[in-house]
Chain A
Amino acid sequence: MLVLSRKKGEKIRINDNIIIEILEVNGGIVKIGFTAPQQIKIYRDELYLKIVEENMMAKAVKKEEIDAILRELKKDDKV
């Protein structure tokens, strides 16, 4: 892992077109600004990992669980 120290207002450039700027440092919280082409996807890592985890859990749905899903949806009058 590359480790760089930066002060408030300083930037990091990745490739030619991705800029990361340290906007604010306050206590234990750092505010970071990103400038990147539209197709670059930027997420909080914990949110990304949550989606991975959700996908992993949803992948294992069993037949009796699908019937339970249908029953629940019917109960709520959704189908």
Chain B
Amino acid sequence: MIKFNSTRFGELSVPEDKIITFKEGIPGFPYAKRYVLLDYKDTVLKWLQSVDDPDLAFIVTESSNIDPKYQIIVHNSVKEYLEVDNEESLVVLLILRIHDGKVIANFNGPLIINADKMLGAQVIVESI
């Protein structure tokens, strides 16, 4: 078990195999390399909570919950980076926020997670 502090949930303790590693962090937060996914109540939303920064957490959901047609091409370099053996283990999450009453999903910066290896990366999509 790994114990860490979080601003929103207090002290958390999660099994080591629930830790998702972003080897280089994500743009803007390169220092935060380990995250956990926590359910947000009984909804399709999840918290992506940083293990390394108590204050750092994002609300995310699987891209299909926002747009079933949203598809991104995962380049070979990303597959290699995430050590993908089986493409079915890839999960695409979108970071959500709200502005002026409208949900804004970050379609240009999806999070790709290899659930087999618990490795993640935020990729930057040039255009969609």
Contact = CB atoms under 8 A, between A and B. Distances in A.
A interacts with B? yes
Interface of A: 38-39, 41, 43-44, 47-48, 50-59, 61, 65-66, 68-70, 72-73, 78-79
Interface residues of B, number: 33
B77 A55 contact: no
Given A47-B108, A79-B44, A79-B65, A55 B28 contact: yes
Contact of B80 (A39, A41, A53, A55): A39
Interface string B15-50: 000000000001111000000000010011100000
Report whether over half of chain A's contact residues are helix, strand or loop; otherwise say mixed.
helix
Report whether over half of chain B's contact residues are helix, strand or loop; otherwise say mixed.
mixed
Nearest to B44: A79
B96 A58 contact: yes
Contact of A69 (B26, B28, B59): B59
Contacts of A50: 108
Interface string B50-94: 000001111100000110000000011100110000000000000
B65 A51 contact: no
B9 to A, nearest CB: 12
A79 B58 contact: no
B45 A70 contact: yes
B44 A72 contact: no
Contacts of A70: 43, 45
Nearest to B126: A47
Given A55-B29, A73-B44, 20 more contacts: A38-B77, A39-B80, A43-B124, A51-B106, A51-B109, A51-B124, A52-B27, A54-B97, A54-B108, A55-B27, A55-B28, A55-B58, A57-B97, A58-B96, A59-B29, A59-B57, A61-B97, A70-B45, A73-B103, A79-B43
